[in-house]
Chain A
Amino acid sequence: MSVPLSIILLPLALFALIFVVFSLINIAHMIRFAAFDMVGFFATFIFLAGSTLFMWYAWQLLSPIDWTMPLNFSLNIFTQMPQ
């Protein structure tokens, strides 16, 4: 049985989605309850800038990897008979 290496990216994609949802909720809270004063605006700016920078750096690290490489699994547990 073989699957592409890109299967490793599935948990990352799932977590990235959670990250985006939580970020949006947090920013919505900030706008709604803190009226986006100077400190709130600055903190949100730092958060968004940090997130963008981190994602760009993560992309730089992930992109050279060949994600089409197959991962081979040997399912011996199902094929081998007990001695």
Chain B
Amino acid sequence: MTLSQLIRQKIYERELMLIRRDAITFVWQIFLFLVLAAVPVALYFFIRKEFPDYLTGPISYPALLVLGIIYYLAIWIFFYTNFIDYYLDMWIITNDRLIDIRQEALFSRTIAELDLYKIQDITSEVKGILPTIFNFGNIHIQTAGQEGKFNLLNVPNPHDLRKRIADLSEEDRKYHIRQANGTL
């Protein structure tokens, strides 16, 4: 997807950064998938030990098999859907705007944007053991406009990113002042 498909791109506007949630936040989904995938295996060994007839019965065996196949198909599609949810959440920073794209569910997508020169206050935070170890956290942006608060959640290197956004905001503010004064 190109930037012009998302927003009405200005002539001088260019994409500087594309940010996604830190990859480590998706690792627990992989872990959950592996645990869920192991459940039928554990059940199989339990049934083989306690109720071995169920695995040879002319009706029980096909029924268990069909149940197992449905279960694995369900967790496989669930896992891929979660990946889509993770991967399609992103923030695009240009030299003029910040675009917040959220895939909230399979049929729910929100796109919001804010002008960088409107940023009033920007805060970054890294809280917790895992965020500190893997250096990811949140950035909260307060704007002067009606957009209110923008939150970039679980992004990598939040402190560096905050500085970068603050610099870009300052540059954009100067640009707009020069534009207003007619010195451009």
Sorting the interface of chain A by its residue count into under 10, 10 to 19, 20 to 34 or 35 or more gives 20 to 34
Contact call B88/A12, Cβ cutoff below 8 A: no
Closest to B83 in A: A43
Q: Which of B73-90 contact A (CB under 8 A)?
A: 73-74, 76-77, 80-81, 83-84, 87-88
Q: Which residues of B contact A19 (CB under 8 A)?
A: 73-74, 77
| Of the residues B76, B81, B103, contact of A50 by C-beta under 8 Å | B76
Contact call B72/A54, Cβ cutoff below 8 A: yes
Chain B min CB distance to A40 (Å): 6
Contact flag A25-B1 (CB < 8 Å), given A43-B87, A54-B73: no
Contact call B80/A15, Cβ cutoff below 8 A: no
Q: Is the interface of B mostly helix, strand, loop or mixed?
A: helix
Chain A min CB distance to B157 (Å): 19
Q: Which of A34-59 contact B (CB under 8 A)?
A: 34-35, 39-40, 43, 47, 50-51, 54, 58
| A-B pairs with beta carbons under 8 Å apart, 27 shown | A5-B58, A5-B62, A8-B63, A8-B66, A9-B66, A11-B70, A12-B70, A16-B73, A19-B73, A22-B81, A23-B77, A26-B77, A26-B106, A29-B88, A30-B88, A33-B101, A33-B103, A34-B1, A34-B88, A35-B1, A40-B87, A43-B80, A58-B69, A62-B62, A62-B65, A62-B66, A71-B59
Interface residues of B (CB under 8 A from A): 1-2, 58-59, 61-63, 65-66, 69-70, 72-74, 76-77, 80-81, 83-84, 87-88, 101, 103, 106, 109
